């Protein structure tokens, strides 16, 4: 199987769909710093062009304003295609369910076709949501999941499951060099204030002096990975991985209630209010990262408290506080 040679990365070109989003932009910035020519394709449906401001003006950075679901016309040669285009938070994908399904199906096809035309390595950014509300804990890559295929969250869950199936079909049918990563809860500077997930919700509520809103009883669990750790894991998979899926996340597990207490401690005391748990919201979420750790030597380095410090500072600046 072909491998990316980091020693010659200075001459290589990567296309990152959804590269103006939170994770995509952090990945674009890291790869640019590593010497890659980075081409970002984004329609700014949920991405933010400000996330790419540090790359502006570089002759190794190209920004294409386009919707990958409509096609992907990027001149070669291209060495890697990394498909990150998709809404990722429930408020985002529930607001545009059809577009979410299209980018996970048509968008994935177009990204795979671009990789095939260039004989490039293809990396599919999948998600822990493919496990649904899991009956197996912690979640291992061999677990097939517990997903409600007709529930409101299915537009995201099933789009990603389809994307994984398409990636494996291209690998088996065309011999394309492919990777699949399943991203668990990730946080850090670059997230949107109105993202809707628990990290920006709690931090922004605390900074504004508002009550922290917990959905459910607060006993559901999450495992939070700092974005710089995640990017290092993504690059490890790109450079040395194989075609089978890799969980990427931090296995340290916290209840939502414990996370609320930590945010309140770091930002200031806040009361907590409880709202009903959304339909099909997973009760427990924790990655088993044995596969990526044992085969590629990757493990997260930043603990939750340390990662929240720059994240809180980022949101404080974004809110003008």
What does the domain layout of the chain look like in residue ranges?
11-187+225-250+287-300, 198-220+253-285+309-318
DSSP 185-224: -EE-TT--TT--SHHHHHHHHHHTTPPEEEESSS--EEE-
Residue 281 has pLDDT above 90, yes or no: no
Instruction: Calculate the CA dihedral of residues 26, 222, 44, 15 and round it to 10 degrees.
Output: 40
Q: Do the first three CATH levels of 11-187+225-250+287-300 and 198-220+253-285+309-318 match, i.e. the same topology?
A: no
Report pLDDT digits (tens) over 288-320.
999 999 999 999 999 999 999 999 999 999 999
pLDDT for the residue 165: 98
Supply the pTM of this predicted model: 0.93
Residues carrying an active site annotation: 156
May I ask the CATH class of domain 11-187+225-250+287-300? alpha beta
Q: Which DSSP symbol is given to 277?
A: P
Q: Give 280's pLDDT tier (boundaries 50, 70, 90).
A: low
Question: Helix axis angle, 22-33 relative to 227-240, nearest 10°?
Answer: 60
Token output for 279: 């339909």
CB neighbours of residue 112 within 10 Å: 24
CATH superfamily of 198-220+253-285+309-318: UDP-galactose 4-epimerase, domain 1 (3.90.25.10)
Token pair 């806040």 is found at 270
Is the pLDDT reported for residue 54 higher than 80?
Answer: yes
Comparing CA positions, the residue from 44, 59, 64 lying closest to residue 111 is 64
């Amino acid at each position: 199987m072909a491998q990316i040679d980091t020693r010659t990365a200075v001459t290589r070109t990567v296309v990152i769909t959804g590269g103006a989003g939170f994770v995509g932009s952090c990945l674009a910035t890291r790869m640019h710093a590593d010497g890659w020519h980075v081409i970002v394709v984004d329609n700014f449906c949920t991405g933010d062009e400000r996330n790419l401001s540090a790359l502006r003006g570089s002759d190794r950075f190209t920004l294409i304003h386009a919707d990958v679901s409509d096609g992907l016309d990027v001149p070669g040669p291209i060495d890697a295609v990394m498909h990150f285009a998709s809404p990722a938070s429930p408020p985002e994908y529930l607001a545009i369910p059809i577009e979410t399904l299209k980018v996970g199906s048509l968008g994935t096809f177009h990204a795979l076709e671009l990789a095939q035309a260039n004989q490039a390595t293809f990396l599919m950014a999948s998600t822990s949501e493919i496990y649904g509300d899991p009956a197996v804990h912690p979640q291992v890559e061999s677990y097939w999941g517990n997903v409600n295929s007709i529930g409101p969250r299915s537009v995201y869950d099933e789009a990603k499951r389809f994307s994984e199936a398409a990636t494996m079909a291209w690998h088996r049918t065309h011999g394309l060099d492919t990777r699949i990563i399943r991203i668990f809860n990730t946080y850090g500077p670059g997230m949107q204030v109105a993202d809707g997930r628990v990290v920006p919700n709690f931090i922004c509520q605390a900074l504004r002096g508002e009550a922290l809103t917990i959905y459910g009883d607060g006993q559901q669990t999450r495992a939070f990975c700092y974005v710089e750790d995640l990017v290092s894991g993504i690059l490890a998979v790109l450079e040395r991985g194989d075609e089978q899926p890799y969980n990427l996340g931090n296995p340290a597990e916290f209840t939502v209630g414990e996370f609320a207490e930590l945010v309140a401690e770091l930002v200031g005391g806040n009361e907590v209010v409880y709202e009903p748990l959304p339909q099909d919201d997973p009760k427990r979420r924790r990655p088993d990262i044995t596969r990526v750790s044992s085969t590629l030597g990757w493990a997260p380095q930043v603990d939750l408290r340390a990662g929240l410090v720059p994240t809180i500072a980022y949101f404080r600046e974004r809110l003008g506080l």
